[in-house]
Chains A and B, each alone.
Chain A
Amino acid sequence: MLIKKSPDIPSSEITPKETYLNRRKFMAGAAIAGAAVVFGKYVGNLGEPGETVHAATKLNVSGKSQFSTSEKPTPLKDITNYNNFYEFSTDKYEPAKLSQSLQTRPWTVEVSGEVKQKKSFDIDSLLSKFPQEERIYRHRCVEGWSMVIPWVGFSLAEFLKQVDPNGKAKYVKFTTKYDPKQMPGQRYGVLEWPYVEGLRIDEAMNPLAILATGIYGDELPKQDGAPIRLVVPWKYGFKSIKSIVKIELVTSQPQTTWNAAAPNEYGFYSNVNPNVDHPRWSQKKERRIGEFLKRDTLMFNGYGDQVASLYTGMDLKKNF
């Protein structure tokens, strides 16, 4: 009921990204001219091509999804300049710059644990092996802001079927890359590194859960979790772990990073729930980036039809 029918054209076409990029190029040009005069020392850097936007590679997006929302996607500049990515900085505006040092090729995702056979996947083989589909999802941060993001990715369930979990696999544990040289935020013990997230196996098999590889039809910008990240839109954003290098199928509930940092504030499930406050702030409302007035937060971030059945009989106030 809350999921609206998807529009006939993919968002990469309805969003005036080209216009935006052109304006950006113009601004960049003007800036180079100005900066070259005033800030001579930067000139050397200015000659190098920028990576965040211009180097972005188009993904081969094969289809749209019935799960996409028809809500207006958040502009790319906000998606790429307002990021919680503590591996680079606890400031939201810094990962856009600091993450550019991350090497996303070669990149391997290892799968181990309760599977018939251990496997490791090269990122490019994942991109060609699985059909890349656009999924326009609402994204709700535990801090009380939200976006609408046109992800590109593939079904986590399809991926897990490929690695063949055995009967003992009850949970899926995801781990982010750990390399303090490339990820300067990991030099501080703000959180326990590497970042770990987890899902119950039935949550992971839900068709809404995807491994995302792109945004707006292009490869994932580094600050958004390149080259591959989880997206579970009915949970708070921090569950959607970024820059994944390891996926393990495990028998018991993994200890997740934010849960370890503050168990009373960030539960293992962390489903979006307007009726369960964060101990320090209300979760009833959210500020959609780009909007002035706050809007009501929806149960399961509006994905109740797809996921509510996963939690039948569970006290969501206890299992927050």
Chain B
Amino acid sequence: MALANRQIRLLKVAVFLLCLGPLFTLTWKALHDIPATSSIPFIAAGVDRWSLGANPIEVITRSTGKWTLVFLLLTLSVTPARKLLSQPWLIRFRRMLGLFAFFYGFLHFMTYIWLDKFFDVHEMIIDIQKRKFITVGFTAFVLMIPLAITSTSGWIRRLGGQRWHRLHQLIYVSAVCGVIHFLWLVKADLRRPIYYGTVLAVLLLYRLALWIVPRLGQKSALKNSYAQD
């Protein structure tokens, strides 16, 4: 399935709007605080879905954090999907997905420093030093900054393909830190962070396999040639 440029441009607009969905949903919930009516199944289901609930700031923090991870995983899925499905045009969506990961990560970070810490720099420094899950989450976010900055075509040219590529491998570290951040903050129920971790592990193992297999091939080819001598 080869797509024409025009189709891709249209699809890009659609994907862009879709990626704004989580932000739109949060904003909508914040503006429409439907009262709880847990006695009625339809509305009961709506209570958590269509309002921010009793602790809005917690919901905003969790939601932006979750979507940062989701977009990181989506970004990392582009290359495997493109290769395994032989759909090279998919690459043209990678930058957008990566920038959305940064966008939600930025919102997540802003929620923390503004709504959670109220710009109390002293408390934040203590947090980042003392609390492992914040240290690792902060690392995940900071590592995304150079990637967002150098995401433009101009920067790819300036850095040169290979150097740009090496720099952008930082996303692996960022995603791993993101999953650990999630794993370390939950109280007892590890199921969700493990789920994200598993998806990430698969995506990283794919790359590891891609890196190892040709080298193994070279080695055995080398061995074969010795054997023939």
Chain A-chain B contacts (Cβ-Cβ < 8 Å), number: 106
Report the bound CA distance from A32 to B53 in whole Å.
21
B201 at the interface (CB under 8 A from A): no
Task: Enumerate chain A residues within 8 angstroms of B41, measured Cβ to Cβ.
Answer: 42, 45-46
Task: Enumerate chain B residues within 8 angstroms of A77, measured Cβ to Cβ.
Answer: 35-36, 54
Task: Enumerate chain A residues within 8 angstroms of B188, measured Cβ to Cβ.
Answer: 86, 90, 190-191, 261-262
6 additional A-B residue pairs with CB within 8 Å, beyond A24-B37, A50-B37, A97-B44: A54-B39, A78-B53, A81-B36, A188-B191, A287-B57, A287-B58
In the complex, the chain B residue whose C-beta lies closest to that of A100 is B38
Report the bound CA distance from A286 to B94 in whole Å.
40
Task: Enumerate chain B residues within 8 angstroms of A53, measured Cβ to Cβ.
Answer: 38-39
* 14 pairs from A and B in contact (CB 8 Å cutoff): A31-B37, A51-B39, A54-B39, A77-B35, A77-B36, A78-B54, A81-B47, A86-B189, A91-B48, A94-B48, A145-B58, A277-B130, A280-B132, A294-B118
Residues of B in contact, count (CB < 8 Å): 34
A31 in contact with B123 given A50-B38, A86-B188, A287-B57 (CB within 8 Å): no
Cβ A82 vs Cβ B53 within 8 A? yes
CB proximity of B209 to chain A, nearest CB, Å: 33
CB proximity of A270 to chain B, nearest CB, Å: 13
Lowest 10 CB-CB distances: which A-B pairs, in order?
A50-B39, A82-B54, A93-B48, A90-B189, A78-B54, A77-B36, A35-B42, A96-B38, A81-B36, A31-B43
CB proximity of B220 to chain A, nearest CB, Å: 45
Report the bound CA distance from A319 to B218 in whole Å.
61
Report the bound CA distance from A49 to B38 in whole Å.
11
Task: Enumerate chain A residues within 8 angstroms of B55, measured Cβ to Cβ.
Answer: 82, 92, 145, 287, 289
Task: Enumerate chain A residues within 8 angstroms of B109, measured Cβ to Cβ.
Answer: none
Q: Which residues of chain B have a CB within 8 Å of any CB of chain A?
A: 34-45, 47-48, 53-55, 57-58, 116, 118, 123, 126-127, 130-133, 184-185, 187-189, 191
Task: Enumerate chain B residues within 8 angstroms of A280, measured Cβ to Cβ.
Answer: 131-133, 184-185
Question: Out of A24, A49, A54, which one reaches B35, CB within 8 Å?
Answer: A24
Interface majority SS (helix, strand, loop, mixed), chain B: helix
CB proximity of A140 to chain B, nearest CB, Å: 14
Cβ A27 vs Cβ B47 within 8 A? no
Cβ A93 vs Cβ B39 within 8 A? no
CB proximity of A276 to chain B, nearest CB, Å: 13
- CB-CB contacts below 8 Å: A199-256 with B: none
Residues of A in contact, count (CB < 8 Å): 48
Q: Which residues of chain A have a CB within 8 Å of any CB of chain B?
A: 20, 23-24, 27-28, 31-32, 35, 39, 42, 45-46, 49-54, 77-78, 80-82, 86, 90-94, 96-97, 100, 143, 145, 188, 190-191, 261-262, 277, 280-282, 287, 289-290, 293-294
Task: Enumerate chain B residues within 8 angstroms of A261, measured Cβ to Cβ.
Answer: 188
Task: Enumerate chain B residues within 8 angstroms of A51, measured Cβ to Cβ.
Answer: 39
Task: Enumerate chain A residues within 8 angstroms of B43, measured Cβ to Cβ.
Answer: 27-28, 31, 35
CB proximity of A197 to chain B, nearest CB, Å: 15
A31 in contact with B40 given A191-B188, A287-B55 (CB within 8 Å): yes
Report the bound CA distance from A96 to B43 in whole Å.
12
Task: Enumerate chain A residues within 8 angstroms of B36, measured Cβ to Cβ.
Answer: 24, 77, 80-81, 96
Pick from B41, B48, B118, B131 the residue with the most CB of A within 10 Å. B41
Cβ A281 vs Cβ B131 within 8 A? yes
Cβ B187 vs Cβ A143 within 8 A? yes
Task: Enumerate chain B residues within 8 angstroms of A23, measured Cβ to Cβ.
Answer: 35
Cβ A28 vs Cβ B40 within 8 A? yes
In the complex, the chain B residue whose C-beta lies closest to that of A78 is B54
Question: Out of A28, A82, A86, which one reaches B37, CB within 8 Å?
Answer: A28
Task: Enumerate chain A residues within 8 angstroms of B126, measured Cβ to Cβ.
Answer: 282
Report the bound CA distance from A23 to B185 in whole Å.
38
Cβ A27 vs Cβ B35 within 8 A? yes
A50 in contact with B123 given A90-B188, A281-B131, A287-B55 (CB within 8 Å): no
CB proximity of B148 to chain A, nearest CB, Å: 28
Task: Enumerate chain A residues within 8 angstroms of B39, measured Cβ to Cβ.
Answer: 28, 49-54
Task: Enumerate chain B residues within 8 angstroms of A86, measured Cβ to Cβ.
Answer: 188-189
Cβ A27 vs Cβ B37 within 8 A? yes
In the complex, the chain A residue whose C-beta lies closest to that of B189 is A90
Cβ B127 vs Cβ A93 within 8 A? no
Cβ A42 vs Cβ B35 within 8 A? no
Report the bound CA distance from A81 to B132 in whole Å.
31
Task: Enumerate chain B residues within 8 angstroms of A50, measured Cβ to Cβ.
Answer: 37-40
Task: Enumerate chain B residues within 8 angstroms of A39, measured Cβ to Cβ.
Answer: 42
Report the bound CA distance from A27 to B57 in whole Å.
25
